Structure formats: C-alpha cells, structure tokens
Structure 1
Amino acid sequence: MTTTTTTRLSRATIAGYAAGSVGTGGFGTLPGLVLLVYLTDALAVPAAVAGLIVTGAKVWDVLIDPFIGYGSDRDLARTGSRRRFMTVGALALPVLFALTFAAPAGAGPTAAAIWVLVAFLLAATAFSLFQVPYIALPAELDATYDGRTRLLAWRVAALAFAILLFGAGGPALRGGGDSTTGYLVMGVVSGVVIGAGMLVASRVAPRRPRGEAAAPATPPPSTTASRAWALAVRESADALRRSRPFRTLLVAFFLQAVATGLMLAGAAYVARYVLQDEAAVSYLFAALIAPALLCMPLWTRLARRDGKERGFVVATVLFAVAALGMIPLLWVPGAWVYVPTALAGVAYAGMQALPLAMLPDVIAHDARTHGEGRGGAFSGVWTAGETTGMALGAAVLSLVLGVTGYVSTRADEVATQPAAAVDGIALAFSVVPAVLVLLSLVPLVRYGLRKGDIDDTAPELPRDHPARTDRSRD
C-alpha cells in the first residue's frame, strides 16, 4: 500500500534517491551526446544507419518497459520491495555500457554497427530494470503533494549535476579527436560511475511486510512469458485509458524529450562544425547546467505557490524562447550562444523537476480512484515514452544530416562538411526544438490535476467499490 505517513523524509533517503539520477543522467546524457558521433565519425557508419541504430535500441525499450513495470509491480507484491529489479540493473549496466564503446578498431562499418546495436540493446535493458521501478518510488516514499515536490527537486538537482559531469567530463575522458581507445576509456569509467549511483539508489527502495502491498494478483508460476507480456501491455494500456492526467503529461513530456534529445545529440556537431571548437561542447553543457542548478529552488517555490502544472508551462515557454534565440548561429556563430544556452538551462530545470514531480501525483491519484500497486505500469509507460522521445531526437538529427549531405568518417580521418550540412546542424539545434516544446503545451493545458486532488484526506473510491455502492442506496 502507498505510504500514508506525513512525516518528512530523512536527508539520507532524499540523498539516496537523488543519487540514482547520477546513473540516469549519465546513461541519458552520454549515449545521446556521443553515440551518434561515435558511429559516424569513429566507425564510419553512414548517418542514416547510425540514426536507425540509436532509434532501434530505444524502440526496444518501448517493448520491454511495460513488461518490466508489470514485473516490478508483481515483485513488490511478492517481496514487499522494488529493490531486486533495481539492483540487477545497477550491477549489469557498467559492463554492458563499456561494451557499447568497445567495437573492434579494425571492424568494418557493418560489423561495428551490429556490435554497437547489440551491446546498446543489452545496456538499455539493464537500465530499464533500474529506471522503471526507480520512477515509481516517489509515490511510495512520500504521500504528500509538496513532499514529492521536495524529493523530486533534489533528484533533478542531482540529474543536472550528472548531466554537467558526464556532458563535460565524457568528452574530456575521450580526449581529442575520435580515437576508439578514447571512447573505450570513457565507456569504462562512466559505466562504473553510472552503476554506483544506481546501486546507492536501489538501497532506498522501501521494504514492507509481505502481503502488505496491494497489487493485482500475482500470475501463477505456469504463466508463460508471452502471457505475462500480454498482461503487462494490457495494464499499461489501462493506465493510459483511465488516467487523462497521465496521458496529457506523457505526451507533453514525450515531445519535450524529442526536443532535448535532438539538442543533446546535436551539441557535439555544433561544437565541431558550427563553432569549430571541440572544447565548446563542454562549455555548452556548463552554460546549460550551471543555471539549472542555481535556479532549481526557484522552480520548487513557484510550484508550491502557483502549482506544478503552471510552473511547467512557464518553463516550457522560456525554453522555446531560448532555443529560438540560437537561430543566428546560421550567420554569426560565436561565443554569444552561451547566453541563450544559459537561459535554456534555467528553463530546463523546471522542465525536468516539475513533470517528474507531477508523475507520482498521477500515480497517487490513480491509487485513490482505482486501487494501489500499479505504479510500475505507469513508470514503465513513462520510461518507454521518455527514452523513445530522446531516441527520436537523435533520429531527427541523423535525418537532417543525411538530407543535407553530411560526410561520415573513420577515426583520425578529416572531412570538410558541405555548407548545407552545417546549416542543417544549426537549424536542428534551434528552430526544431522550439517548435516541439511549443507543441507540448497543447496537451499540457488538459492536465487538470491539482493539489486538492492529491492531498484530500478523504480517499476517493472507485465507482464500483462496495462502500460507494452502499452509500448510493442510502
């Protein structure tokens, strides 16, 4: 059952939960930042094929995340904790992440592409084993609207720190150029740090007496994998069908994930071909994340004063303005780009903290109206939507590169890119993300969930609940 205590969470619990964002931030940042350029500029994989590899691995997430969410809910019912799935993912990911960047140097483009695809699929699976139950935890750790805002604010602060750490530190570990050895060193070191953060967070998952968690009945041991997957898909579809706040929030966050995934994948190309400075990618991340860290408390205060959904709208509009402010990269690339990047960082803090704080509210509201124990179904769909959105961002960039004539190379080779490709990179970093985040406002206005729907002490019963039926007869 969902925690009902109103006591404040301990600092150790908040810090432990936030540590998980070191892992999620690392896994979300580095592949999005360097995997596409690793394929195109170190392994000579054509841009269109490289985009398919990155997207294909994320489509895999769409298939497995509902199943993992379903399994996490069942494991919670059996053992009283989501800890087991999280631990397995945390232990497996470092090895698989390193293998993603360990393609043999002498392999041809086709063999290298297959290597990266298989390794990244396995790494994505390990990540989902952790991430899906991790996202479901806030609704179980704190029962209050404001308490979850506080918990998620620290998590997003850790996420911003992780993005800065991996966004700036990853390229530094890789070294100059596109040496395959440099990518391998980056993969090994980063994989260990990612796994460590995830392992710490797995210890925070609450333990409860067996049988206390009110989840749907556990399938019998004879249930086949295909049957279990079908049940998982059905529960995910049910979550989408019955919860309008979840549908609207998910669509908005998905569109924003496409936008941020596009900018993340494009940062290395902007630094190399638009700004013509390899080190600029680290400066871009510093300009983005430093304001995000500083402004995080401001978004938390705004959420408490005006509501999370209103703060989310403000952050979204601000991010669109910042992205449009980068359009002059087409004509006058220069250090001025760090100013709109910093403004985007201010907005990015709100675009991460607020929807992630709204998700456990949606889960808690569904528990009040339809029964508890389905948090994994929601988090499975959410993770699938987020990772697919990020992957589509990279796919959009690869499509732009392919259409504009981008030239792929092997490590230590140099190619002069056509002007059309450079212009395409600049547009993909500015206009397209702005349009996407503005479109996300359309579903967001239908969210409709407020603090009173969450913190009302009188639980709302399902329509077919016996107690409600009895009342209707009085």
Structure 2
Amino acid sequence: MAVTQAGKPGLFTRLSFGIGGAADGIKNNGFDYALLFFYSNIMGVDAGLVGLALLIALIIDAVSDPVVGYWSDNMRTRFGRRHPFMYAALIPTAITYFLTWNPPEGMTGNDLFPWLVATTILVRLSFTFYDVPSSALSAELTSDYDERTSLMSLRYFFAWFGGLTIQIMLFRFLLVPTEEIPVGVFNVEGWNTYGLISAICILTAVAICALGTHSHIPRLKAAPPARNLTLGKIFSEIFETISNPSFRALFLATLCGLIATGISATLNQYINTIFWEFDNTQIANLTMGVYVSAVLALIIAPVVGKTFGKKRGAMTIGALAFTIAPLPVFLRLFGVLPPNGSPELFLIIISITIFDLSLIIATQMLLGSMVADIVEDSELQTGRRSEGIFFAGISFIRKLSQGAGVITASMVLAVAGLSQGGGVDAATPEEIRMLGWGYGISLLTAWTLMLICISFYRISRESHADNLEKLKLRQAQQDAG
C-alpha cells in the first residue's frame, strides 16, 4: 500500500517507477545508435536525408518538452496531473515506434523520407507525453531527501538495463545471417522483429509505471487553482521557474556531461579497435560489463548520497570517475601499460571500465535526484510546484546537446588524421597517439566543466529539510485563513 508523500514509497511503487525507465533506455538506444544505420544502410535512404529527418524530429521534440512540462504542472483531472499524460502516451508510443522500424513494403530509398520524418516526430512527441510527467513523479512520490535518490537510482538502472538488453538481443539473436543474407546486419526481418519486440517492451514498461503508481494519485500534489493566463504570462512563469540558481547549475552541468558522453560514445569504437586493438569477443565482453556497472551504481548512488549528501557525493565520485576514465589512455601514451594483444591489458581495461562506468552512472543517478530537490526550493520563491518544468528543462538540454559531443569527437578525429572506415592497419602510430591525446583531453575538459557547474548547486540535506518546514508552515497559515 502507498504511504504518505513525505514517507517511503513501498517496494512495488519504487520498482514500478524504476521499470518505467526501461522505456527510455530502449527508445534512446534505438534512436541514438541504430536508426541512422537502419534507414541509410538497410533501407537505402540517403544518409544526409536521414540525418535531416532525425534533426527535424529532435528540434520539434525539444520545443515540446517545456510545453508538456508546464501543461502537466497545471493539469486538473480526477486522475491527477501526471497520469493522464502517461496513459495518453501508452498506445501511440508503442504503435509509432513499431511503425518506425516497419516501413511500408515496397517503399525504399529516398521515398521513405516523409515516412521517417512523420514516424520519428510522432515517436518523440508521444514519448515526451510519458517521459516528462513520469519523471516529475520522483519529486511527488516522496519528499524525503534519500528516498528520491533511491527512486532515481532505480529509474536509471532500468534505463541502462533495458537499453543494453535490447541491443544485445538485436545483434545476438535477430540480425542473424541466412542463405540469402550472409551478413546478419542486413537481415530486414530481424530489424522488423526488433521494432515489434521493442514496442511491446516500451508498452509494458510505460503501463507498469503508470499503473504501479496510480494508487498514489490522491496523495500527489494538486494543480494550482484555475487562472486566466495569457501566453505572455505562461512564458513569464516558465522563465521565472527556470531562473532558479540550482536549476541553472544542473542545466549547464547536464550540457557538459552530455558533451562528454557524446565524445565517449563516438570515439569508443576507435579507442577499442584502433588504440587498444581489441577483437570482437573482447568488445562484446566490455559491453556485457555494463550490466555489472549498472548493478554497482544502483548500490553506490544511495550510499554515497546518504553519506556525503547529493552535491558533495556527485562531485566526489564524479571527480574520481572522470579522472579514471582517460587514465589508461594516458598511461599507454607514456608507455606504462602492457602491450596490445596481451591478456593482462584486457583484464586491466575491462576492470577499470566496469568500475569507472559504475561511478559515472551513479553520478547520473545523484544528479537526477538533485533535480527533484529543486522543486521545493522553487516553490518557496514562486509559490508554484513546477516538477514538470524542471524535468522538461533537463530533457530539453539533453536533446539539443546530443550533437555537440559528436561534433567534438569529429574534430578529434580530424586533428588526428583518422577517417571513418579506416582500420588498425590504416592508422599510423602518430595518428593513434593523437587520437589518444584528443580523447583524453576532450573528456577531461568537458567533465571538469561539468563539476564546476555542479559546484554552484545550492541545495543540501539541511536546506532541503528547511525548505520543507517553511512550506509546511506556509500551508498551515493558509489553512488557518
């Protein structure tokens, strides 16, 4: 049974909220890593047109975030503020995601451009209707400082778990070669089945999150009284809300962190194959190690948050993680590590990677929880609860900053003199050395800026408790007339 908003949600509620993150992980994994390849290499759409379609959908989606966030903050229904959006997104998200990976038969090449634009826009918009309101629930299900960390830790854990599992399923079990298709990645039926399974998983995760938290609706915060608002007043309230200093700190920290993520995701292929010269089996083992990292992060984040506080904890493990990540590359550049091809080298790299990624994921968990704590801080200043706006703002910067890391990584490759498609034999020792320096320095720069931004976050355990007391006193005075 659910408990009061200030208390500890039950295990069923926490798991339901956490499993909802799997939908985010599955959708992002497909859109970020597979969609461009599927439409350009399998369906024959010009890569430039695919990129344009994804960009159009991304921009429209990013603009929709604050609209949905504000709308859900002010929604007045018998089902509360958040759940109507979550239920409304349930079927459209699953159907449009399925259609994205199952274009009409007989339609190929650039003729698919309108289909791709339409389906990706619909997927992103329908998913925003789920993701922003459901994420905002983390600040409503409990006001407890540490319980919010536990909730967001489960959310991020299932996002990583869901995204990784669907990726392994795709390449291990669906994209299999046949007599007619000797190279598995060109198996169109495998991609079609991937779309179906992913859509079912997204539908299931969204339904579990919505239904599993439904019983809390009577205890969730109600929308403010109905007001006659002009468009100018609405935007004035939005800008007043996001002017919160702690939100600005996390907004910029998220931007820098995503640039680092983009750099790492883009360059890891080059680092693993060209710099370390790992084979496919070793790279697959590195991928499987993400499961271990996610489990470790699920343990680390709540403990660190409870021991050090969220800001201090995020900065501490973040600084450790961001120092460790490029360290093996620097050690290789100075000739300290064992040679490529030795089993000792792979053991060192996979051990460091698992530990380091667990710290990075734990940092993400703490930052997500820190967003929730801004809600009461802002409510004291504005008199409004704006969970939707804050989580929409973080979602907004995530989407608009996706390309920044890729652009930075491309600059590193250009400076190193490496071209896409080149293998180990095509790279000179000088190019490999420049790749290592560019990878390490660019990551350290982005992550250092991220930590600097986090340092401007103002909310601590003590100030959060003080905010809750002040809000309780204000409510008592209002109730007294």
TM-score grouping bracket, smaller chain normalisation: 0.7 to 0.9
Aligned to 2:303: 301
Describe the shift of the 1:244–1:87 C-alpha distance in structure 2 as closer, same or farther (beyond 3 A). Answer: same
Aligned length: 450
Q: After the TM superposition, which residues 15-414 of structure 1 pair with which residues of structure 2 at under 5 Å, given as runs?
A: 15-43=15-43, 50-76=50-76, 79-103=79-103, 109-172=109-172, 173-175=174-176, 176-203=184-211, 204-205=213-214, 206-208=216-218, 213-215=222-224, 217=226, 227=231, 233-241=235-243, 243-264=244-265, 277=279, 282-325=284-327, 327=329, 335=346, 337-394=349-406
Correspondence 1:458 to 2:469:
yes
Alpha carbons 2:21, 2:156 under 8 Å: kept: yes
Describe the shift of the 1:162–1:326 C-alpha distance in structure 2 as closer, same or farther (beyond 3 A). Answer: farther
Aligned-CA RMSD value:
3.9
Give secondary structure in 2 for the equivalent of 1:69: helix
CA distance in 2, matches of 1:326, 1:95: 44
Moved more, 97-106 or 283-292: 97-106
CA shift at 1:15, angstroms? 1.0
Can you list the C-alpha shifts for 1:401-440, whole angstroms capped at 9, x where unaligned? Answer: 79978568xxxxx9999649x9698788655344322221
CA shift at 1:78, angstroms? 6.8
Describe the shift of the 1:436–1:375 C-alpha distance in structure 2 as closer, same or farther (beyond 3 A). Answer: same
Alpha carbons 2:100, 2:195 under 8 Å: kept: yes
Moved more, 144-153 or 429-438: 429-438
CA distance in 1, matches of 2:452, 2:349: 29
Give secondary structure in 2 for the equivalent of 1:207: helix
CA shift at 1:374, angstroms? 1.8
Alpha carbons 1:174, 1:185 under 8 Å: kept: no
Correspondence 1:436 to 2:446:
yes
CA distance in 1, matches of 2:361, 2:152: 11
CA shift at 1:156, angstroms? 2.6
Give secondary structure in 1 for the equivalent of 2:218: coil
Describe the shift of the 1:94–1:55 C-alpha distance in structure 2 as closer, same or farther (beyond 3 A). Answer: same
Alpha carbons 2:7, 2:143 under 8 Å: kept: no
Describe the shift of the 1:304–1:416 C-alpha distance in structure 2 as closer, same or farther (beyond 3 A). Answer: closer
- Identity in percent: 21
Aligned to 2:180: none
Question: What TM-score, normalized to structure 1?
Answer: 0.80
Can you list the C-alpha shifts for 1:119-173, whole angstroms capped at 9, x where unaligned? Answer: 2221111111111001111111102112212222222332332233234233333
CA distance in 1, matches of 2:125, 2:328: 35
Describe the shift of the 1:83–1:256 C-alpha distance in structure 2 as closer, same or farther (beyond 3 A). Answer: same
CA shift at 1:338, angstroms? 2.6
CA shift at 1:246, angstroms? 0.7
Q: After the TM superposition, which residues 415-430 of structure 1 pair with which residues of structure 2 at under 5 Å, given as runs?
A: 419=427
CA shift at 1:398, angstroms? 6.6
Can you list the C-alpha shifts for 1:351-408, whole angstroms capped at 9, x where unaligned? Answer: 2210111111011221233223321111211211123333544555577779978568
Give secondary structure in 2 for the equivalent of 1:163: helix
CA shift at 1:455, angstroms? 1.4
Alpha carbons 1:271, 1:280 under 8 Å: kept: no
CA shift at 1:447, angstroms? 0.7
Describe the shift of the 1:21–1:73 C-alpha distance in structure 2 as closer, same or farther (beyond 3 A). Answer: same
Describe the shift of the 1:437–1:416 C-alpha distance in structure 2 as closer, same or farther (beyond 3 A). Answer: closer
CA distance in 2, matches of 1:91, 1:267: 36
CA distance in 2, matches of 1:433, 1:54: 26
Gaps of 5+ in 1: 409-413, 469-474
Give secondary structure in 2 for the equivalent of 1:217: coil
Give secondary structure in 1 for the equivalent of 2:75: helix
CA distance in 2, matches of 1:280, 1:233: 51
CA distance in 2, matches of 1:445, 1:428: 26
Match of 1:447 among 457, 472, 479: 457
Alpha carbons 1:34, 1:265 under 8 Å: kept: no
CA distance in 2, matches of 1:125, 1:131: 10
Give secondary structure in 2 for the equivalent of 1:141: coil
Describe the shift of the 1:76–1:351 C-alpha distance in structure 2 as closer, same or farther (beyond 3 A). Answer: farther
Moved more, 288-297 or 427-436: 427-436
Give secondary structure in 2 for the equivalent of 1:208: helix
CA shift at 1:22, angstroms? 1.2
Gaps of 5+ in 2: 177-183
Q: Which has the higher contact order (CA 8 A, sep 6+)?
A: 1
Alpha carbons 2:5, 2:141 under 8 Å: kept: no
Write the letter of the residue equivalent to 1:249: L
Can you list the C-alpha shifts for 1:95-119, whole angstroms capped at 9, x where unaligned? Answer: 2122222346876653345433332
